[in-house]
Amino acid sequence: MLRYRYINKVILLIVSSFFTFSFNSSAGLFSSWRYWMKIDFSGYNKSEVLTNFPVLIAFVEGRNGFKHSQFILPQGGDLRFSTADENTELPYEIEKWDTNGTSLV
């Protein structure tokens, strides 16, 4: 019985360490990620800073070095967007994920 409790505690420790690491890595800086792409918005010439507006982004296989095969998780599960300082994750929705063509986010 004592050995069973010990094994459960070890498993719990390993699992909780994994989740702590996962949450910290996904919410931290993105500069250490292997693949990233800067997205600029041209054509806006007003002095006000735009915030909280929707943008449709099309990821096309092979364009600007983009490849669906670079994702580890299926259906773009490891895709992230951040502010320019790479410290704040931005919300997004995947409208269409097409590994053979164009994905719309």
34: helix, coil or strand? coil
pLDDT for 28: 53
pLDDT per position as a tens digit, 19-74 = 333 333 444 567 678 888 888 878 888 898 878 888 899 999 988 888 999 888 88
- The answer to whether the predicted template modeling score (pTM) of the entire model surpasses 0.75 is no
pLDDT for 71: 87
> What is the C-alpha separation between 78 and 85, in angstroms, rounded?
19
85: left (phi > 0), else alpha (psi -120 to 50), else beta? Answer: alpha
**Residue that the structure tokens 């949450």 belong to:** 23
